[in-house]
Copies of this chain bind each other. A is one copy, B any other.
Amino acid sequence: MALLQQQNYETLNEASAAELAKKLNLFHKDAELTTAEIGDGNLNLVFRVEDRLSGRSVIIKQALPYAKVVGESWPLTLKRAKIEADALKLFKELAPEFVPEVYFSDETFAITVMEDLSHLSIARKGLIQGEEYPLISKHLGEYLAKTLFFTSDFGTKPSDKKELVKKFINPELCKITEDLIFTDPFFDSETNSFEEELRDEVKKLWADEKVKLEAALLKQSFLTEAECLLHGDLHTGSVFASKTETKIIDPEFAFYGPAGFDLGQVIANLLFQAISCESKQESIFSHIRTFWETFTAEYSRLWADSNMEPYSKTEGYLEKVLKKYFKDTTGFAGCELIRRTIGLAHVADLDGISDQSKRITAKIKTLNLGKKLIVSREQIGNIDELISNVKDSL
């Protein structure tokens, strides 16, 4: 990047971040810039650069060459910044209303300069605090219908899709998912983290060959089924929201995988709210229903209007595809429920339940629901049956 003095990767500071923003002509020449580092420092530096005169602001995100999770630190490829910037740009083309704009990106410095979304809040935090986002489920359904359809062999030419598969090969970040979602929670692995009161339940899981076989098959699907370009980490912490707007950020885990993985993560992360707060259950179930119905309606519309596959008019094909997506969604949601309860990375929805006994009860329910979704995914035929399975577990 000729815009900065250095030739090799170096972390930005507030001064060099402001200098970069200026050189990119993102502000008026008389702008009075103030810069603040606002990231949580685990994986990335995040600078907010604002012009005090105009109020205009941008975000500069820089990947760090290591990850810190629960005090542990391991090296992590900087290439993820390029994957993230490339994915944001592509998703922006496909679903512009739900993706921040990227103004500039640089692979060497692992930098993405993008639209500031500070007027929105992170959906997980907002939901925990009792905020309501009436449109979030509709927006997530639309976003996924568009991104999953137009990156698949139905919505793009198979030869172009193969070049995208190549571009988004993402071994290191996929490995995190393969280990932390699909493997470690089902074995007595060092990365697991759970309260001692859960040990008996966790041991039952580790000994449950039926659940493990189905988890193995879901992992195999994640490893092999290059259906669409996924966000890859679409939990409520990757969503900025307000009452009217929804923006999906942080697609550094993007890669070609099974559609149900993104869909299942959305549903599981909404479910944590239903599990942790009884009074919200009906509202969350309604969101989950809206999410799935919007997704299928929009996906079906795109299938009818924009499908380039000669078989797309073949009787029953769309239904088969949606049925497969739903089955996968159910199973992947189950994996997410389990790993967020006993694996390395938890969610504040559950860990934040201050009453110890209620928290343990909620986590046991989460584990059992996770197992049920994994093993019964062939039998759970539609979104209403999924919700009634959830109700039976709570």
A residues at B contact (CB < 8 Å): 153, 158-159, 161-163, 165-166, 169-172, 174-175, 178, 183, 186-187, 209, 212-213, 215-217, 219-220, 223-227, 309-311, 314-317, 320-321
Contacts and interface: CB of A to CB of B under 8 A. Distances in A.
Minimum-distance CB pairs A-B, first 8: A216-B311, A159-B171, A209-B315, A162-B171, A166-B169, A153-B223, A212-B314, A224-B227
Contacts of A317: 213, 216-217
Count of identical protomers in the assembly: 2
Nearest to A228: B224
A158 B187 contact: no
B165 A165 contact: yes
A169 B165 CA distance: 8
Contacts of A162: 169-171, 174
B187 A159 contact: no
A320 B171 CA distance: 26
B171 A311 contact: no
A172 B215 CA distance: 35
Contacts of A309: 216
B153 A183 contact: no
B174 A311 contact: no
B183 A310 contact: yes
A256 to B, nearest CB: 8
Contact of A314 (B163, B171, B209): B209
Contact of A178 (B158, B165, B220): B158
A224 B172 CA distance: 21
19 contacts: A153-B224, A158-B171, A158-B175, A159-B174, A165-B169, A183-B310, A209-B314, A209-B315, A209-B316, A212-B311, A213-B311, A213-B316, A213-B317, A213-B320, A216-B311, A216-B317, A224-B226, A225-B225, A226-B226
Contacts of A171: 158-159, 162-163
A138 B55 CA distance: 74
A160 to B, nearest CB: 8
B174 A158 contact: yes
B172 A223 contact: no
B153 A172 contact: no
A169 B163 contact: yes
A210 to B, nearest CB: 8
A177 to B, nearest CB: 10
Nearest to A170: B162
B315 A213 contact: yes
Nearest to A316: B213
